[in-house]
Structures are given as C-alpha cells and as structure tokens.
Structure 1
C-alpha cells in the first residue's frame, strides 16, 4: 500500500482476443486458438470489461482448464460495456465519461482485460471508446496476439490486401442491400479498394444470393466460413464462376465476405 498522497501507477489495459468459435457447436482446445503468452496473461487478470459477461465467464472457464486463474471465477470483477454501444457503436453521447468510469480499477493500479465474444475486441465489436479513454488517462494499452477474423479472411481471399475497408453489416431490405452491394462494387473497382463485410450467420445464405444477383460477373467475391474451426471453408472466385459452379459451404457458421477486383 503506497503512503498517503503517493501516486499509484495505472494498470495496463489488455485487449484480449478470444477464439472464433463463439456460438458454434464445435469448441476448440484453447491452446489451438490462442498463444500460450495470451492465455497466461488472461489467467493472471482479475478485472474485465466485457461485451457480454456470460461469454466472458465461459472464456475464463476455458482459460482455467489450461492455466489456473489468479482468483476463482466467482471473484473475477466483470463489468459489461453499455448496451447502446452494441447497436450504435462507441461514439454515442456520454461514451467517454462511461469509458472513464469503467477504467477506474486501472487508475487504482489494477490491470484490466477488454474482451469481446469472439476475436479481437474493438474491431467489428464495441470497445474503441475504452481504448481511447485509456490513452487519454495515460493507461498503457497492450493488444495481445490472437485471431482476427477480418484479417484472416482478407489474407485468404486473394483480393487487394494493401488497400481495403471494413464496412460492417449491409442493409437487410432486399432493395437497399442490392444497392449497397453495387455501391461497394463500384468503390472496389474505382479505387482498387477491397471491401470487407459481415452478416449474422442465419442471414449468410441470403446475403450470398443477393451478392451473386447484384454483382458483375468479373467482380471477385470471397467467403470465409467458420475461420479457425476444423470445418472452416474459404471459397474465392469471380462472380461468374460462383454462379456456374456454386460450392458447398457451411453457411450456418460465422462468415466474412470479401469483395474486390
């Protein structure tokens, strides 16, 4: 305990990646999904900021099966990100003040893990406001090594990997979705900028069919399903080839779509 009036060094904010098998029937051995160093750091943490507390506890159970947790699961301090960040993203009114409040343990010297349900937090998931606030407060930010589905899909797509954009989810309405696909295609051809997007698994098949109907025959389309799982599948081809010889893919699994030239 430092003497009264002595400044406490802030704890580190660790960005803790998780396996990409969230929501899937198949669960990987954690050692096949994450490096030992990442598992070791996760096991040593006692404070967490989570996209979802239930999935964070499930992850910590998997960590404990490999490395003993620093404190029992029941004593882990887990707080959830605000729900409105999930739907609207982090830049909502009051996000900075909320983020600073969640980082209070770090200002008291505790290391904190930021965790999402799958993959790297703050990428295609909420959490960027936490990272921004940490930098503003002088809290060290350390991203740990682990899977990032967007980068894995892009690398496996054969599309331009030096100029790309992640555009999130597409509209659900058929007309709006088709218009958005054609807009992304035009951008990809005009700028030679690969477009990366995602959908909830139960809409993957509908999005694939919409893409094959809306896109030009020479546009390149890649679909990466179940990345990191034993059943993962990646198919990349011109739209004309997709139409001529449709592959069998596990579309019920989480997937990343990549559109390019």
Structure 2
C-alpha cells in the first residue's frame, strides 16, 4: 500500500495516447487513490478510465477545484489525508499547479505538513522552452497578457526589454481564438530582429514548434485558429 500523500497527476495534452507521455508508474499510483481533486469531473473521469481501464469510476470521490471554489472549501478537500487516504490532483491538461488552480491546494497541503508527490508528465511550458533554442537558465512565464490594447502593448514592450537587458526568455499563452491577434501585436510592437517561438499542439499529431524572427513571421502564413499555443520571445 502506497504512503498517503497528495499526488499531482499529469494529464495528456490533447488526444495524445497515454503510453506516449505518461509512465506506467503513474497508472499504479492512480490505482491506489480513491479521492481526486479535479477541475472538471467529466473530463477527469474520462482520463482515469483511459489511464486505468479497470478502475471502478463510480466508487471514486471527486472534489471540484476551479476559479469559483471558495477558499474554505479547498481546505476541507484535504480531510481524507488526515485519515490516511491519498488524494490525487488532476488538471484539464498537462501538469497540475502549473498555470493551474491546483497550486492553492498544494500550498495548503505544504502548510499542513502533508507529503506532496509530483508525478512525471508533459508540461507544454517546459517542452516549448526545450525546443525553442532560447535561454533555458533564465526565463519567466507570465500566463495571459492583458486584453486591453494599451496595457497589452506596454506588457509586450516590458518583456522585450527584459530579453535584451537580462537575457531572459519570456513565455506566455493566449486564448486559442486570439492567437492571431497576439501574433499581430507582437509583430507590430517588437523589434524585427527579436525572435519568437510558437509551439502548438505539443505531443499531439499536429505538433508545430517553430522559431523565427518577427520580421520572418510577418511574411509567413500560419493557421493558429483554436490551437493551444505557447509563445516565447528571446533575442
């Protein structure tokens, strides 16, 4: 029987097969857990059944954690740990607690002295950085950029300054339907020689990872519509 702990369970990115990105050890850990903290119960159940076909889904307990979950509820989700039962955290895609509300529950578990175990799995942020050719020793992930035009342009200019003054790779994401608008804003706002890596559909069949200067991107036609992307800037 595995030691009671809060296990951070990575999920595939898109429709990637389990055996391509997740070790068999993860499946064994999942098999010993009956309490799960998830962003979406329906997709979590589908992932668990895909990972462990013999799992008895209806015997499991699920707690929902998203932007609407109240802070007082979150702490109660860890009650099974106090009774010696392991808990698994499952996000919608990739690694829990990275650009993900799961970080809140991990912080509470750490403060309470519970064991926290991160399992191996795909992180689109790290994988895009690995493939970009940019500085992997000094980088910053900013999540989503401001939507308002003036704030957005100021943020982009600030990030570009850090590239040249600190040699720091700048990483951010966008809502898929606004990918093209972001690319246009980067081309318009940044220096032509600044390099941009666009990484889309990582680990999936249509994976696309390409690094170009913004001047080169301005001449290329690329379809990013509704594709999950990571954008990386560097000099």
RMSD, aligned α-carbons: 1.8
Alignment equivalent of 1:143, drawn from 113, 118, 125: 118
Q: Deviations over 1:128-150 (max 9, x none)?
A: 12111112222111000000110
Alignment equivalent of 1:29, drawn from 17, 30, 37: 17
Q: Deviations over 1:95-127 (max 9, x none)?
A: 3x4432110011111110011000001101111
Q: Which runs of 5+ in 1 are unaligned?
A: 1-9, 22-26, 86-93
Q: CA deviation at 1:257?
A: 0.4
Alignment equivalent of 1:74, drawn from 51, 58, 66: 58
Aligned length: 234
Is 1:260 aligned to 2:208, yes or no? no
Q: CA deviation at 1:82?
A: 4.5
The 5-angstrom pairing of residues 102-117 of structure 1 reads: 102-117=77-92
Q: Deviations over 1:148-204 (max 9, x none)?
A: 110001111111110011101011223332222111111221111111100111111
Is 1:18 aligned to 2:20, yes or no? no
Contact 2:173 2:229 in 1 (8 A): yes
Q: CA deviation at 1:39?
A: 2.1
Is 1:213 aligned to 2:188, yes or no? yes
Q: For residues 27 and 223 of structure 2, what CA distance do their matches in structure 1 show?
A: 31
TM-score by length of 2: 0.93
Q: CA deviation at 1:28?
A: 2.4
- Which secondary structure does the structure 2 equivalent of 1:83 belong to? coil
Q: For residues 43 and 231 of structure 1, what CA distance do their matches in structure 2 show?
A: 31
Q: For residues 232 and 66 of structure 2, what CA distance do their matches in structure 1 show?
A: 30
Q: For residues 146 and 103 of structure 1, what CA distance do their matches in structure 2 show?
A: 23
